[in-house]
Amino acid sequence: MLYYLINYINKIYDIPGIGVFEYISFRASLALMISLLISLFLGGYIIKILKKYQVDDQIRELGLKGENKKKGTPTMGGFIIIISILIPTILICKINNIYILLMVITTIWLGLIGFIDDYIKVFKKNKKGLAAKFKIIGQVILGCVVGSILHFHSDVLVKTSKSIDNLGNGLNTYVKSSITTIPFFKNNELNYSDLISFLINEPEKWSWIIFIPIVIFIISAVSNASNLTDGMDGLAPGISAIIGLVLALYAYVSSNLVFSDYLNIMFIPYSEELVIFMSSFVGSCIGFLWYNSYPAQIFMGDTGSLSIGGIIAVFSIAIRKELLIPIFCGVFFIESISVIIQVLYFKYSRKKFGKGKRIFLMSPLHHHFQLKGIHESKIVTRFWILAVILAILSFLILKLR
């Protein structure tokens, strides 16, 4: 809204210097600051409200050192993150941009699912929260919506390194295509339609058959991985902020014709507004850390963890970097894998030996280190460092082919 208002005022009065609002870098910086200030201001207020209505975390009974002391800490702090993302987005972005609409839908939808889950845990005193099948249904619905829009909407276009004419000259044309980025390869593009080309004629026309299920899988996997990682003070929001910086830079180079040509990556028209959205995301996560760092004054709950995971997933798909998720979301990936390994080995050993055995002392992985006697704040800091290393690696991949 603010973007359109300033443009309108500028057309009438031609105010010197107001044109800076057209620059993505300026609006992204402004969005980051606004989201940071909102989360800092709103955080204390929301904590007081949650304490007043006893919206406490009633499920901290893991028996781990220091965990029982956290029982009674307010939860549903994801509201702080969601509000801090949406307000700057609505104010500063071109709200009619298809990518921004997609991100707003994702934020609200998964935030709502997370809220229902937290509500059941807190007010219905049900530790299991929302049944897993309903979470999955919600994620599948979102995946279908996101996949359909990204595949069929007329504004979702790309200019790839393969957009050349018969003489080998680059064409300044943008096409609809189900192409994504493959790491480590020159001209690193994969067309999802190639995966079904041996089955049907005109595979490009039917690529949605494989694209939409892949979108559903990615959204479900990353949002649940974020949820699993949210088990220590400051762990999930800190890592999410680092991932957000990576995605913001990816979106910036992908939306800039000069940088995308230099880096030999896809140019994605209209995606520059995503830089502003992700800047709001980073600011909200950093602001939330003010209250969530050890010892936490508030937990984000599923309201926050599901939504930030979904945001990261949809954003990555929108800028065609979803196959890089295991790298820049490596901490989320490791946490999820630790749970899968633990469960599978426990079932296997129980079937074979009659008694279930565990590889880790406890999963997700951060609890394994906690049971080994490492202090929570040190585990969180080391996981942040690992996330930074993976972020740097994901940038190196752009030129390492």
Span 249-268, pLDDT tens digits: 999 999 998 888 888 888 99
In a domain, 191, yes or no: yes
Query: If you compute the radius of gyration of the chain from its CA atoms, what whole number of angstroms results?
Result: 22
Q: How confident is the model at residue 223 (pLDDT cuts 50, 70, 90)?
A: very high
116 within 8 A of 301, measured Cβ to Cβ: no
In a domain, 238, yes or no: yes
Residue 166, pLDDT score: 40
Span 328-365, pLDDT tens digits: 999 999 999 999 999 999 999 999 888 899 999 999 99
In a domain, 32, yes or no: yes
Q: Is 194 exposed, middle or buried (0-12, 13-18, 19+ CB in 10 A)?
A: middle
**Does residue 162 have a pLDDT over 70?**
no
Residue 198, pLDDT score: 83
In a domain, 66, yes or no: yes
In a domain, 331, yes or no: no
User: Whole-prediction pTM value?
Assistant: 0.93
**Does residue 115 have a pLDDT over 70?**
yes
What residues pair up with 267 in beta bridges, in sequence order? 159
What is the mean pLDDT of the segment spanning 8-18?
A: 75
What residues pair up with 159 in beta bridges, in sequence order? 267
Span 322-335, pLDDT tens digits: 999 999 999 999 99
* CA nearest neighbour of 285 among 237, 333, 247: 237
In a domain, 333, yes or no: no
* CA nearest neighbour of 268 among 130, 139, 102, 129: 102
| Domain range enclosing 268 | 2-324
In a domain, 101, yes or no: yes
Q: Where are the beta strands (DSSP E) in 153-212?
A: 179-181, 189-191
CA atoms of 27 and 20, how far apart (whole Å)? 8
In a domain, 275, yes or no: yes
Overall number of domains in the chain: 1
What is the mean pLDDT of the segment spanning 54-73?
A: 62
CA atoms of 165 and 319, how far apart (whole Å)? 24
Question: Residue 157: CB partners within 8 Å, gap ≥ 6?
Answer: 174, 175, 176, 268, 269, 270
Residue 2, pLDDT score: 78
Please provide the size of the chain in residues. 401
Mean pLDDT of the chain: 89
